[in-house]
Structure 1
């Protein structure tokens, strides 16, 4: 019992910055512990005693310089003037981020330098120099003693003095503190891990760390260090949530799609820059988590670019995207309009690919005359429900659209494989943005397999607009908050940029015109085949076959085959499989079929 009490008392002393130390002299006598206690107290309160220590150093320096080099006073005076003048300008580079901090440092430098120069010339004991330093030291020390960051750093240092006990209690025994930095929102520290421990071990201990450090829930973050060493991690602790309130959008951050868009600030105030050129993007999250807000941020930036044409699909009858209609070249609000828009996007994709091949180029470089084409789809799951055949077009765009600058930006609540059309769309998304989700498994659905276990905890995001972004330039789980665009800001931005919007390039227009002319030539035969099949009273098999025979080279869509036969999708696909096995029909592309050239009669 006695040993346990002593150990508990020793741990309490270590937390308070006092280490139990006992010295025995050569005669076996216990020495006076007063010196040890005083030394420990001086070390514990070294930050508070900093101004007094500076005054003592100045006195010692003044006495030494006056005795040996009194002529140096002029150099000391000039150096003090130069340094104090430079600090307000360059102080931010040495960690003085606030203007008041730089002014305070300049004042201390000028005062200390001036006093040292005078004391070097005439002596530290010459009146009124002793009185000046005695009165000036406590006066100039008041801002230092009251400084929030200094007091926070002292509190953190004393907390981390007990890290050996904390690490033992949370299961990271053997880890050690390497460095600590205090910022305006909290503090961060680098830790070295014991052998066999990894950052995944630290990530799994976040709840225990919050308890041991006495923070509020959700205040602790664990990141890899910049050197990316496996046996180190960075611990970030927030005293104040920098994203507690909405952040007003400052305006467009780009003028060309070749630049990264600023979606909002991270918790350290660094901007969340994401490049969208030649990348497809997926945004997911629960209802009310902020997806519409970030779409407004993307629209606000893209609408300011002269080298991008915006197409959009909003099957909620344009409720979300119609305010941007003045900047949108083509807006689809129904399933039929969405199907037509995506089919035309595929035509543009193929036309651009043909143009690049003919000119010996590999990528489409956006310019005002040859803009990129960005297709924004709000609530992608609604599209796949109301227009399942549109998945064929989005799949083709996802696989082949990057090089020709035809890109998708899709938003959905829960991007399951079923919701994404069972195609390659989700796997082709280079940029993943996750807002708050209700279930842990949804993190992997949005951000990719294994991201939850790697520390991407989107289920802990606690306010609309907070998000995690995974992109080639963002590989660590850093929280950000999207800017907020009010309805007035959306209306004003759309009106400002409406007159600057580019139109489709000549290559894309030519591809669309050629495709529409081909459709007009083949449309009468298809329409007649549908009408004949519906009015003739023939069997469904005969109606299906009539459609296949009348189909143009690019084939006929499955929905028309369903209409002509009057049967279910499953039945149509069963019949198509039989025709294909017999060599009578061929699938031209996903969802489009026609009869083979040598099969003209009903089987």
Structure 2
């Protein structure tokens, strides 16, 4: 009931008839909603007396009443499955107490002690508990503005039903169901900034996960405190001597989980962020993880001539620092792909796996026609890293770069393309489409769509809110990463 209606009702009550007849009518009117629990207590007393007259000396009656009490309590619990947990428990306790008293009254007599004492004390307590519940439900104080319902009404999602919240440290997940035929999950996406405003949290702290099987159901995820504000220094390689097929740990999510990237699953990676967004630190994190794995070779093109990644030069297999060198590397990459595909096919590999990087002593992976082990040297995974790729793309044929991206997957190779903006002026649509994974740092709001899929932005991801004000903050979209984490803010380690 609106606050205006409540005030109007109160004014009408004050102006009502003040004679004793009017007072009596008013009191009866106000008491009527509270009578059912008391009538229930009275009915239990009558039922106990009747049951005593019929089954006082019958053992079968005692057994039947006991089973009926249990069955009625179970039915009350089952019937309340769609109600709130408090109402369901309150109903079940009331039914259990009432049916147990009727059974006791039938066997011992309703006026015997302590049966009559339990009736005299327990009956009013149960009735009053329901009266109190009713009063609390009809509280006319204007608290709606601070309730979930009031909040949803404010942001244009009135009549949305919320499920039981799941509360974790610094994270609240609330299932929702929009009114059928009135709203869709797109409306939730559009309302996320207003929800953040109503809760007084950053826009990146509110996101949603739509139910893939429903157009109107999903979950709201709220992270009230920014746990990424504190710098987390790089703890060292997560798996030194391990395989490149194992996840690279490059940071943490805002709920404390590790930020993991698996390059063979990601296939090709776009690293994007404005100057000062922490893109170089992120690159060092990925590079440090890659270079400490046993079965990978790294080709690095760095037009900045080691200004940022110079510490990694000595561990790379090939480094170029000029546009001519980058063009040569791209041509070499283009030429090596069919050779790698031929090697994998001749050794019985449908795709690259860690076993392909070691000496081929397994007859199941031999290139010999007689089926004996060939003993060929292994072929490591290949990572081609193009730092500040916008400069490189201006100097080479973009179609060749696109061809590499499309063909390298089956050859056990990945491209890492790092640039400030992946707009159509910097990189062709075909090449951008061939980079399925993205590590997006802070960007200009107009560029977010070049780095992240539209469904991730709709779910609440907002790298444009960071720009260069939150160095290291990022979103990771990649195969092998749970989709619910694609719109979850994270932060890379500081080196």
Q: Common fold, TM-score beyond 0.5?
A: yes
Question: Where do residues 116-155 of structure 1 align in structure 2 (5 Å cutoff)?
Answer: none
Contact 2:297 2:381 in 1 (8 A): yes
Please name the residue that 1:323 is paired with. Answer: 311
Distance 1:179 1:319, change over 3 A: same
What secondary structure does 1:188 align onto? Answer: strand
Distance 1:172 1:323, change over 3 A: same
Please name the residue that 2:178 is paired with. Answer: 193
Could you report, residue by residue, the CA deviation over 1:456-495 in whole angstroms, capped at 9, with x for unpaired residues? 3221235111111222334344333333232xxxxxxxxx
Contact 1:160 1:177 in 2 (8 A): no
Structure 1, 252-261 or 293-302: larger mean CA deviation: 252-261
Contact 2:340 2:412 in 1 (8 A): no
Please name the residue that 1:463 is paired with. Answer: 470
Distance 1:348 1:182, change over 3 A: same
Contact 1:199 1:232 in 2 (8 A): yes
State the TM-score, normalizing by the size of structure 2: 0.63
Consecutive unaligned residues of structure 2, counting only runs of 5 or more, are 10-23, 36-142, 359-377
- 1:406 corresponds to 2:413: yes
User: In 1, distance between residues paired with 2:178 and 2:425?
Assistant: 42
- 1:291 corresponds to 2:291: no
- The structural deviation recorded for 1:163 is 2.1
- 1:437 corresponds to 2:443: yes
Please name the residue that 2:125 is paired with. Answer: none
Count of aligned positions: 346
User: In 1, distance between residues paired with 2:492 and 2:151?
Assistant: 38
Question: Where do residues 33-112 of structure 1 align in structure 2 (5 Å cutoff)?
Answer: none
User: In 2, distance between residues paired with 1:195 and 1:226?
Assistant: 14
User: In 2, distance between residues paired with 1:220 and 1:9?
Assistant: 41
CA RMSD of aligned residues (A): 3.3
- The structural deviation recorded for 1:439 is 2.6
Distance 1:248 1:202, change over 3 A: same
Match of 1:271 among 234, 245, 258: 258
Please name the residue that 1:28 is paired with. Answer: 28
- 1:223 corresponds to 2:208: yes
- The structural deviation recorded for 1:195 is 1.1
State the TM-score, normalizing by the size of structure 1: 0.52
Question: Where do residues 276-425 of structure 1 align in structure 2 (5 Å cutoff)?
Answer: 276-277=263-264, 279-359=267-347, 361-366=349-354, 367-368=357-358, 369-385=378-394, 387-389=395-397, 391-420=398-427, 422=428, 424-425=430-431
Please name the residue that 1:239 is paired with. Answer: 224
Distance 1:235 1:423, change over 3 A: closer
- The structural deviation recorded for 1:398 is 0.5
Please name the residue that 2:4 is paired with. Answer: 5
Contact 1:432 1:447 in 2 (8 A): yes
Tell me which of the two structures has the higher relative contact order, counting C-alpha pairs closer than 8 angstroms and 6 or more residues apart: 2
What secondary structure does 1:273 align onto? Answer: strand
User: In 2, distance between residues paired with 1:169 and 1:418?
Assistant: 41
Could you report, residue by residue, the CA deviation over 1:200-233 in whole angstroms, capped at 9, with x for unpaired residues? 21121123223333x2332641221677543223
What secondary structure does 2:494 align onto? Answer: coil
Contact 1:189 1:236 in 2 (8 A): yes
Contact 2:204 2:462 in 1 (8 A): no
Contact 1:444 1:451 in 2 (8 A): no
Distance 1:262 1:8, change over 3 A: farther
- The structural deviation recorded for 1:357 is 4.1
- 1:484 corresponds to 2:493: yes
- The structural deviation recorded for 1:242 is 0.7
Could you report, residue by residue, the CA deviation over 1:47-71 in whole angstroms, capped at 9, with x for unpaired residues? xxxxxxxxxxxxxxxxxxxxxxxxx
- 1:169 corresponds to 2:178: no
Please name the residue that 2:165 is paired with. Answer: 180
Please name the residue that 2:191 is paired with. Answer: 205
User: In 1, distance between residues paired with 2:487 and 2:477?
Assistant: 9
Contact 1:179 1:190 in 2 (8 A): yes
- The structural deviation recorded for 1:332 is 0.8
Could you report, residue by residue, the CA deviation over 1:294-318 in whole angstroms, capped at 9, with x for unpaired residues? 1111111111110100111110112
Contact 1:467 1:481 in 2 (8 A): yes
Contact 2:162 2:174 in 1 (8 A): yes
What secondary structure does 1:234 align onto? Answer: strand
- The structural deviation recorded for 1:6 is 4.1
- The structural deviation recorded for 1:381 is 0.3
